[in-house]
Amino acid sequence: MSFGRSSAVYIHQQALSSTSNQATEVSSVTIHPVALFSILDHYLRRKDEQARVIGTLLGTVLDSGEVEVRSSFAVPHSESEQQVAIDGDHHRTMYELHHRVNPKEVVVGWYSTGSNLNANSALIQNLYSQETTPLQAVHLAINTGLEESGKGAGVKAYISSPVGISPKPENCVFVPVPVELRFRETEKSGLDLLASASSAATGPGITQPISDLEALEQSIKSVTTMLDRVLGYVRSVLAGEVRGDPAVGRYLLDTFAASTDDLEQGGFNASLQDTLMVSYLANLVRSQAEISSRLALAATS
Amino acid sequence: MAAAIAASLPTVQTAPTPAAPRQETLPASWNKSIDAEAEIPITTVQIDGLVTTKIIKHSLDSGSNAHGLLLGLDLDGVLETSNCFPLPNQSPDEDEKSVKSVGRYQSQMLRSLSEVGSVDSVVGFYQSAKLGAFFKQSLVEAQAIHQEKLRHGGIVIVHDTTTTSRGNASFRAFRLTKPFIEAHRRHNFSSASLINQRLTFSNILEEIPVKIRTNPLLNSVLGTLTESHRSPLSCALPSEATTSAIPPTYSTLDIGSVGLTRNLEQLIEAVDNHKVEESNLAYLSRQIARERLKADQYITKRREENAARIAQGLAPLPEENISRLFKIPPEPSRLESMLLLGQIDGFSKSLASASSSGLVTMYAVKASSEA
């Protein structure tokens, strides 16, 4: 690969050649909340003198070239202007331990906090790429939102491309790839719980799990407030106080035009009876279980 | 940067002035919360956001039987769990090799975690359950083992995957009660022992209130993630008008009683299991009664004989040890039947709560369709 070209062209060529001789190419990255939260926790627990923390990303690679980052663990390292050292033993031990619980997850790359990429990053990237071949290692740069003022928290994903006439490990170009937060629908409630903790009025970041009915009550209340807001808006438009926004009007039409006529009365009553029946049954079984356990105590005494 | 340092300090809600990390003397307000002998009882369990997400992920990845260890510290009656790690699923035949390898796994994991500055003291374990049925022999046994080893006896956090997928993440913390520990220590779950300890399924475990905590850094990131952005298009589709990494959900408002059938099936299965267990117990106790009757008859017969011999002036026959002649089986353990009752109770509780929220949604829909 000793062609004299400008680096931009070279990257392009590299991307093309990688499709021809590699099974897949990283097209996008998704990150699971667990991985993200582990990284934040690691960042909080870093030593004072550490400017940034790094660690390994585990996950799966889909056929489409999408890399799913599903968990992460911390790796101790030290770096200075001259050199960078990574605890390889720790990385291998942790990987083996993770592998025992979740054999499907493999090393897909590494993370670091802070958004600056330097020569050390390139060296670490080179190291991880050896583990993830034939795929390029994914590098996630997590900006925790604390280091640079004016920049909010954010996550960026990169893959690397060697650069220069003769590729050297400390030289590479980080090519950004799209990244998004991905979680299963069933995990959503866990995040909702955390979100309610982070915005709780009771105290700083503390909340209590609630029962099903309370959750339902909250949802219904929030829907009612939204309806009130819409009603207020519509009334003020009708009264001519506010000029109606046609876009909002169309959204409202779409939302409320959903017909509820197909909800026939008979079906409702039958379903209501079923649900009531189940509810009685559940309570009956509970009291029977309680009686049975009390009888076991009373017997033979 | 100051915010980052403040956030990395240990949680000091009780102390108004947090001490610098390297300072040797603790603030005066900490004095009453220092408890080297674990004398202050645990009143609350505080679960970190990281722990909740890790447990949810592990539970979903590995199906119903996910369990792992909780790491943390206790401070002034609050047990703070700040990290956790999953344990590999044990094979049903618990041979010595697999037990040993799990032990090795644990110690390696703890060592590795302490290398990166994470908490490395085990405070309990977590277990996933379905439909509220977490009473299992394995759970109680594991907790009984921890009871002796851990400070404060350790706790167990039960995570219900079913309610979580219905839209309300459920975490409950439990520890074993004193009567149960007493009975377990003596390996005695006969009915007499149960009566003495007044032990039913409802007082095997006692629940400890749970709090969910997110650290300030996580708060800020969650704030960024839940922020919604307006679509750049002025007339985008309603579903695409605003985007956000974590959109708000109203999955609790879904109509239809999801999973009630499954719940009912499980309930019936548990009742059947309990019936089988009860008839086993009844069979065993009938057998005991029969053997005891035989032994009693033998003794009275021998006594009558001896009385007759003494009257005739002969030497009485020796009264042999009846336990050698008649094998009276030991009284069966009622633990299994008690746990099954607990399971039935769990299933019916979740059934009741699911059906009641179903009722509420149905009436809400009816009201809105009439309006």
- CATH code assigned at B205: 3.40.140.10
DSSP code of residue B242: E
In this structure, the number of other CB atoms found within 10 A of the CB of residue B357 comes to 24
Task: Note whether A135 and A159 are within 8 A (CB).
Answer: no
CA distances from B240 to A226, A251, B229, B248 (A): 18, 11, 10, 14
Across the A/B interface, how many CB contacts are shorter than 8 Å? 300
State the Cα–Cα distance between residues A147 and A52, nearest whole angstrom. 10
B339 touches chain A (CB under 8 A): no
Q: What is the reported pLDDT for B323?
A: 62
Q: Which residue in chain B is spatially nearest to A54 when comparing CA positions?
A: B116
Of the candidates B34, B51, B369, which has an alpha carbon nearest to the alpha carbon of residue A197? B51
Whether residues B82 and B147 fall in one domain:
yes
Low-confidence ranges of chain B (pLDDT < 70): 1-38, 63-64, 90-95, 231-242, 255-259, 319-325, 369-371
Whether residues B174 and B269 fall in one domain:
no
Whether residues B105 and B163 fall in one domain:
yes
State the Cα–Cα distance between residues A71 and A98, nearest whole angstrom. 9
The domain boundary residue, chosen from B218, B242, B268: B218
In this structure, the number of other CB atoms found within 10 A of the CB of residue A2 comes to 5
Whether residues B61 and B189 fall in one domain:
yes
B171 touches chain A (CB under 8 A): yes
**Helix or strand holding residue A158 (H, E):** strand A154-162
> Smallest Cβ distance to A247: which of B199, B235, B345?
B235
Whether residues B85 and B204 fall in one domain:
yes
Of the candidates B91, B90, B61, B66, which has an alpha carbon nearest to the alpha carbon of residue B157? B66
**Helix or strand holding residue A218 (H, E):** helix A212-238
B14 in any annotated domain = no
Task: Note whether B210 and B156 are within 8 A (CB).
Answer: no
Task: With H, G, I as helix, E, B as strand and everything else as coil, classify residue B305.
Answer: helix
- Cβ-defined contact of A190 to B218 (cutoff 8 Å): no
Chain position carrying tokens 């489409």? A64
Helix axis angle for A212-238 and B335-370, nearest 10°, is 10
Which amino acid is residue B85, in one-letter code? F
Task: Note whether B170 and B160 are within 8 A (CB).
Answer: yes
B159 in any annotated domain = yes
Q: What is the reported pLDDT for B287?
A: 87
Q: What is the reported pLDDT for A23?
A: 47
- CA of A41, closest CA in chain B: separation in Å? 8
**Helix or strand holding residue B181 (H, E):** helix B178-185
- Cβ-defined contact of B200 to A207 (cutoff 8 Å): no
- CA of B298, closest CA in chain A: separation in Å? 24
A134 prior amide bond cis, ω within 30: yes
CA distances from A272 to A27, A275, B253 (A): 49, 5, 16
As for the ipTM of the complex, it is: 0.80
Whether residues B213 and B260 fall in one domain:
no
- CA of A168, closest CA in chain B: separation in Å? 30
Output b/e per residue, A231-256; b: 16+ Cβ within 10 A: eebeeeeeeeeeeeeeeeeebbeeee
The domain boundary residue, chosen from B196, B218, B240: B218
Output b/e per residue, A140-178; b: 16+ Cβ within 10 A: bbbbbbbeeeeeebebbbbbbbbbeeeeeeebbbbeebe
B196 touches chain A (CB under 8 A): no
The residue range of the domain holding B44 is 38-218
B246 in any annotated domain = no
B328 touches chain A (CB under 8 A): no
Sheet holding A206-207, edge to edge: A206-207, B210-213, B44-48, B78-86, B67-75, B122-129, B155-160, B170-176, B205-208
Chain B from 126 to 155: CB within 8 A of any A CB: none
Chain position carrying tokens 């079906």? A267
B10 in any annotated domain = no
Task: With H, G, I as helix, E, B as strand and everything else as coil, classify residue B241.
Answer: coil
B281 touches chain A (CB under 8 A): no
Whether residues B93 and B180 fall in one domain:
yes
Structure tokens at B131: 């439909």
Chain B residue numbers touching A181 (CB-CB < 8 A): 225, 245-246
Q: Which pTM does this prediction carry? A: 0.80
Whether residues B165 and B286 fall in one domain:
no
> Smallest Cβ distance to A97: which of B112, B198, B238?
B112
State the Cα–Cα distance between residues A282 and B180, nearest whole angstrom. 27
Whether residues B63 and B121 fall in one domain:
yes
DSSP code of residue B130: B
Chain B from 203 to 222: CB within 8 A of any A CB: 209-222
**Phi and psi torsions of A58, nearest 5°:** -115, 150
Task: Note whether A90 and A59 are within 8 A (CB).
Answer: no
Which positions ≥6 away from A120 have C-beta within 8 Å? A79, A84
Low-confidence ranges of chain A (pLDDT < 50): 1-23, 301
Residues composing chain B: 371
Q: Which residue in chain A is spatially nearest to B245 when comparing CA positions?
A: A181
**Phi and psi torsions of B36, nearest 5°:** -75, -25
- CA of B12, closest CA in chain A: separation in Å? 12
Burial (CB count <10 Å: 0-12, 13-18, 19+), residue B342? buried
- Cβ-defined contact of B352 to A283 (cutoff 8 Å): yes
- Cβ-defined contact of B192 to A247 (cutoff 8 Å): no
> Smallest Cβ distance to A191: which of B4, B8, B246?
B246
B355 in any annotated domain = yes
B323 in any annotated domain = yes
How many DSSP H helices and E strands does chain A contain? Answer: 8, 11
> Smallest Cβ distance to B211: which of A87, A208, A292?
A208
State the Cα–Cα distance between residues A42 and A53, nearest whole angstrom. 7
Whether residues B69 and B121 fall in one domain:
yes
B33 in any annotated domain = no
Whether residues B199 and B114 fall in one domain:
yes
The domain boundary residue, chosen from B175, B201, B218: B218
> Smallest Cβ distance to A278: which of B5, B337, B351?
B351
Q: Which residue in chain A is spatially nearest to B213 when comparing CA positions?
A: A206
B193 in any annotated domain = yes
Number of structural domains chain B divides into: 2
Whether residues B99 and B210 fall in one domain:
yes
Task: Note whether A77 and A121 are within 8 A (CB).
Answer: no
Task: With H, G, I as helix, E, B as strand and everything else as coil, classify residue B21.
Answer: coil
- Cβ-defined contact of A34 to B352 (cutoff 8 Å): no
> Smallest Cβ distance to A297: which of B195, B252, B351?
B195
Of the candidates B183, B219, B227, which has an alpha carbon nearest to the alpha carbon of residue B201? B183
> Smallest Cβ distance to A279: which of B169, B359, B365?
B359
State the Cα–Cα distance between residues B80 and B82, nearest whole angstrom. 6
Structure tokens at B239: 């579903």
Which amino acid is residue B21, in one-letter code? P
Strand residues in B117-169 grouped as ranges (E): 122-129, 155-160
- Cβ-defined contact of B168 to A250 (cutoff 8 Å): no
